[in-house]
Amino acid sequence: MDDEYPPIQGAICPTPLPHQDKIILGHGSGGKLSQNLIQKHFMPAFTNPMLMAGDDSAVVLLDAISKDNRLAISTDSHVVWPLFFPGGDIGRLAVCGTVNDLAMVGALPLYLTAGFILEEGLDISVLERVLQSMKDAAQESGILIVAGDTKVVQRGKADGLYINTAGFGLIDPRVHISGANAKPGDIVILSGSVGDHGISVLQARNELGFAAEISSDIAPLNHLTQAMLRVCPDIHVMRDPTRGGLATSLNEIARQSNVGIVIDEKNVPVKPPVASACEMLGFDPLYIANEGKLVAFIPEIYATKVLDSMRDTQYGESSTIIGSVVAEHPGKVLLKTGLGSTRILDSLSGELLPRIC
Amino acid sequence: MDDEYPPIQGAICPTPLPHQDKIILGHGSGGKLSQNLIQKHFMPAFTNPMLMAGDDSAVVLLDAISKDNRLAISTDSHVVWPLFFPGGDIGRLAVCGTVNDLAMVGALPLYLTAGFILEEGLDISVLERVLQSMKDAAQESGILIVAGDTKVVQRGKADGLYINTAGFGLIDPRVHISGANAKPGDIVILSGSVGDHGISVLQARNELGFAAEISSDIAPLNHLTQAMLRVCPDIHVMRDPTRGGLATSLNEIARQSNVGIVIDEKNVPVKPPVASACEMLGFDPLYIANEGKLVAFIPEIYATKVLDSMRDTQYGESSTIIGSVVAEHPGKVLLKTGLGSTRILDSLSGELLPRIC
């Protein structure tokens, strides 16, 4: 390795790196090829002074912080397959997934890290599309990508690329949101239709067996949650029903808060093509993953104000009340079905759709 | 899915989950199997109130923060193969890698997130060993694991497991460390021998072709950096020479600071078995990855104080001065060789050892 270079007294002629249109193992070396990949592809997408500093950690100032602020910290790995599907891709998912986890505790999302595991042989044009999506989603949400990392594994040791994101946000001292805070009397609001994301990914896998027009709902929900918090700092619970669907999220909340939750099935919006797809495949849309929806538990007196604030935002137009919290049946979710009966709605058991996010 | 459960008026008899000794796709569902995996294996290893809250984000208070504090943020994905090797494993690596990135900007490491990508079929006993290592390394460094995520991919779409960590720490207002801060006249200190980690992993791959006794140097360096900062808050640069080795880290610093760095090869410690392995394989130890070493650039007047403080710590016993910063040859690293000549020491080009971290 050393002998390539002339002694110091001689001329220094660095060899230009050959053009690459696929990821090779050398892109994970930490040396010149890694630097080249980062400078050429990652930096232009995510440029900001904290990332550009190029040190081992990004260094950020929290101007707005006081001793009363709390920091929200979250992480998600993304292994969705295929990488692209109607309405989104792994890049948009990786940013929105973590932005939404921060938003669900009422935090203002501030900083994001991104770790990439790339498979040898990946088209760099695919990476570029994903980075562009991440850039767009970060801009839409207002989060800054401040630190990153890239590793490369041999062909057959990943599936194109996997992305981990971790995020940090600040929580206003007046806000105390937790899955453990649901109270009897709270109403349950859902921000829109369920099942869109999961069915969109199935469609991209050609597993529907018929043509449909279903787009994933992937979206950053922080502007929606901030609008809600402006009219009601006393939101008790928020959660985005991703893997496991609405049914699983509601069960988590019922257990954490030790309350009963009663949901009226006919009030849960399901788009007709999603309903048809679920019917044909034998799925219940209440268990299908969403990536741009939230459920919120709030004191009933705020219902109109909060609903109005939600319906005024891009991703909350179809917000609606779907149920309420009761003291009976602690830890359980009860579903009033369209047929007039009431049954227990349990968490997802087993695996419905692998690699949905 | 719904029909498994009796109507609300009937008895509720939840079916116990079958015992699993291997990871199955259902462990990534977000439903009961995921919950079970987390409750049974992750929570006991990492238990703390912030993680146990079970919300979408961990919520932490920064008691010690003021408007002058800066926050350090870093991330690393870990794909080392094999998962276990002399002196460490992927779990210890995943914690120490990010702790060290925080320590290298002078931060006190506080909070860590961990994202796991598990391959279907992974032995749960392997996961347990890795989690135990992470727990031990987190305790040793004093960092708290506050948020996590687990995804499962099909057999052949990963290689056992991959771990991403992201970390957050606080930087004292007096500390300003960056790769851009090296100044002519600074001395360069190295905290110990180079090449141990890379050669230890090669040994575990049976690629040495001979038996050796080389342990990885993986260690959390934050106690070492805090000891250094106590005697010298004016450290200019710190960096841990991981992928690409000492040569690549020094080149990054020379470019960031636009200075020349002169290193005396005979002062760079290399353990005899590492030197032998490198010689047989045609490697230069200056390009081999380390996971428990740092280089620091400090004003010469602090040399004795800082060296003494380093040698008093567990991972800095063999600290030594290896060179200095000059105004000439900006952006270049010069190596005074054992033969008395001086040559340019360049960054790693190409791939030396894939999946070394």
What pLDDT score does B64 carry? 64
Q: How buried is residue B336: exposed, middle or buried, by Cβ count under 10 Å (0-12/13-18/19+)? A: middle
Is there a contact between A75 and B115 if contact means CB atoms under 8 Å apart?
Answer: yes
CA dist B306 → A90, B299, B317 (Å) = 46, 10, 12
Q: Which residue of B has its CA nearest to A54?
A: B179
Is there a contact between B56 and A62 if contact means CB atoms under 8 Å apart?
Answer: no
Is there a contact between B62 and A71 if contact means CB atoms under 8 Å apart?
Answer: yes
Here the ipTM equals: 0.93
Is there a contact between A117 and B77 if contact means CB atoms under 8 Å apart?
Answer: yes
Question: Which of B68, B86, B97 has its CA nearest to residue A57?
Answer: B97
Q: Residues near B277 by Cβ (< 8 Å), separated by ≥ 6?
A: B199, B202, B203, B208, B210, B212, B214, B283
* DSSP bridge partners of A219: none
What pLDDT score does A17 carry? 65
Give chain B as a 3 state SS string: CHHHCCECCCCCCCCCCCCCCECCHHHHCCCHHHHHHHHHHHHHHHCCHHHHCCCCCEEEECCCCCCCCEEEEEEEEECCCCCEECCEEHHHHHHHHHHHHHHCCCEEEEEEEEEEEEECCCEHHHHHHHHHHHHHHHHHHCCEEEEEEEEEECCCCCCCEEEEEEEEEEECCCCCCCCCCCCCCCEEEECCCCCHHHHHHHHHCCCCCCCCCCCCCCCCCHHHHHHHHHHCCCCCEEECCCCCHHHHHHHHHHHHHCCEEEEEHHHCCCCHHHHHHHHHHCCCHHHCCCCCCCEEEECHHHHHHHHHHHHCCCCCCCCEEEEEEECCCCCCEEEECCCCCEEECCCCCCCCCCCCC
What pLDDT score does B106 carry? 96
B52 touches chain A (CB under 8 A): no
Q: Which of residues 312-341 of A touch B (CB under 8 A)?
A: 329, 332, 334, 341
- Residue B242: its chain A contacts at CB < 8 A? 30
- Dihedral angle of Cα A130, A133, A138, A141, to the nearest 10 degrees: -140
> How far apart, in whole angstroms, are the C-alpha atoms of residue B237 and residue B225?
11
Residue B70: φ, ψ to 5°? -115, 155
A65 touches chain B (CB under 8 A): yes
Q: Are A176 and B176 in contact (CB under 8 A)?
A: no
Name the one residue in this structure whose structure tokens are 């032998």: B276
Is there a contact between A154 and B284 if contact means CB atoms under 8 Å apart?
Answer: no
> How far apart, in whole angstroms, are the C-alpha atoms of residue A148 and residue A276?
41
* B179 vs A7, A55, A342: nearest CB: A55
**Hey, how many other C-beta atoms are within 10 angstroms of the C-beta on A67?**
11
Is there a contact between A239 and B101 if contact means CB atoms under 8 Å apart?
Answer: no
Which amino acid is present at B353? L
Residue A350: φ, ψ to 5°? 80, -165
Question: Which of A119, A161, A160 has its CA nearest to residue A25?
Answer: A119
> How far apart, in whole angstroms, are the C-alpha atoms of residue B335 and residue A8?
9
What pLDDT score does A114 carry? 97
Exposure letters B26-36 (e unless 16+ CB within 10 A, then b): bbbbbbbbbbb
Is there a contact between B59 and A67 if contact means CB atoms under 8 Å apart?
Answer: no
CA within 13 Å, CB half, A357: 32
CA dist B117 → A144, A304, B157, B286 (Å) = 25, 42, 10, 32
> How far apart, in whole angstroms, are the C-alpha atoms of residue B342 and residue A224?
62
**Hey, how many other C-beta atoms are within 10 angstroms of the C-beta on A146?**
26
> What are the tokens at A144?
């800054």
DSSP letter for A216, please. -
What pLDDT score does B209 carry? 76
Q: How buried is residue B106: exposed, middle or buried, by Cβ count under 10 Å (0-12/13-18/19+)? A: buried
Q: Which of residues 77-136 of A touch B (CB under 8 A)?
A: 77-79, 100-102, 104-105, 107, 111, 113-117
Cβ contacts from A onto B, under 8 A: 355
Is there a contact between B78 and A151 if contact means CB atoms under 8 Å apart?
Answer: yes
* DSSP bridge partners of A151: A117
Domains and CATH numbers, chain A: 25-171 (3.30.1330.10), 187-344 (3.90.650.10)
Helical ranges in A81-221 per DSSP H: 90-103, 124-141, 196-204
Q: Are B291 and B217 in contact (CB under 8 A)?
A: yes
Radius of gyration, CA atoms only, chain B: 23
> How far apart, in whole angstroms, are the C-alpha atoms of residue A48 and residue B160?
35
Interface test with B, best of A12, A38, A51, A73 (most B CBs within 10 A): A73
Q: Return the H-helix or E-strand segment holding A33.
A: helix A32-37
The DSSP line for A229-243 is: HHH-TT--EEE---T
Interface test with B, best of A12, A23, A29 (most B CBs within 10 A): A29
Is there a contact between A74 and B147 if contact means CB atoms under 8 Å apart?
Answer: yes
> How far apart, in whole angstroms, are the C-alpha atoms of residue A85 and residue A207?
13
B5 touches chain A (CB under 8 A): yes
> How far apart, in whole angstroms, are the C-alpha atoms of residue A18 and residue A21?
10
Cis peptide before B18, with omega less than 30 degrees from 0? no
3-state secondary structure of A47: coil
What pLDDT score does A13 carry? 38
> Which residue positions in chain B have pLDDT lower than 70?
1-18, 63-67
* A5 vs B256, B283, B343: nearest CB: B343
Q: Which residue of A has its CA nearest to B66?
A: A66
**Hey, how many other C-beta atoms are within 10 angstroms of the C-beta on A320?**
16
Report angle CA A157, A160, A166 to the nearest 5 degrees: 95
> Which residue positions in chain A have pLDDT lower than 70?
1-17, 63-67
> How far apart, in whole angstroms, are the C-alpha atoms of residue A221 and residue A96?
8
A155-160, long-range: CB < 8 A, 24+ apart: A155/A119, A155/A120, A155/A121, A156/A119, A156/B156, A157/A119, A157/B79, A157/B158, A157/B159, A158/A117, A158/A118, A158/A119, A158/B157, A158/B158, A159/A79, A159/A81, A159/A119, A159/B153, A159/B157, A160/A81, A160/A83, A160/A119, A160/A122, A160/A126
What pLDDT score does B341 carry? 95
* A344 vs B8, B287, B289: nearest CB: B8
B253 touches chain A (CB under 8 A): no
Radius of gyration, CA atoms only, chain A: 23
As separate numbers, helices (DSSP H) first and strands (DSSP E) second, chain A gives 10, 14
Q: Return the H-helix or E-strand segment holding A46.
A: helix A43-46
